[in-house]
Structure 1
Amino acid sequence: MDLGEADPKGLVRESYRIDGITPGECRSIFMDWALSVPVELSVPDAVRTLIARYGADAPDHPMTAVLHEALTAPEHPRRRGGRAARVGLDG
């Protein structure tokens, strides 16, 4: 996948140009980027393209960390709450 396909609006490119950008701002930009990815494109492939282009030159940039997080599978949800959480295990 080429860079133009992976970042058609240049959102990720611009995030690397912002001095002092925070991880939270990078996550927000990433969400904007992710919502604009065409359905027919593979998001993991696009993220790998972005990491190869921008992350290699800026491994400590917060957007690089966000991109790597995007490739990590989410943990399985754990159930919290319910009766046991309210009254304890003794019942």
Structure 2
Amino acid sequence: MGRSPGRLLPRTGHHLGGSHNRHGGGRVTVNGTAFVGVDTVTFTDSAAATATAVFSPLSDTQLVATVPGGLAAGAGTITVHTCGGNSNAQAFTLT
């Protein structure tokens, strides 16, 4: 399965903010490419539970997401979902 011509898949590069409290509320700046038509931003925790974040797009290469509450502590990932597809999963840590 390939992607359709003209569709750019989003790609996360890195995020700013270090580790975040698993109870939520912290803000994370996510940098990447092709953040066009972002539908959702999801956080997946160390227990493989996924939560949707409230986010604000800043540009086609940057957005700010609020860490949702109720996630398990430990290593997790952030994924950006657009009309062009899903980004790579970017690592982050919840404490």
- Given the two structures, how large is their TM-score scaled by the length of structure 1? 0.28
Question: Which structure has the larger Rg over C-alpha atoms?
Answer: 1
Higher strand share: 2
Higher helix share: 1
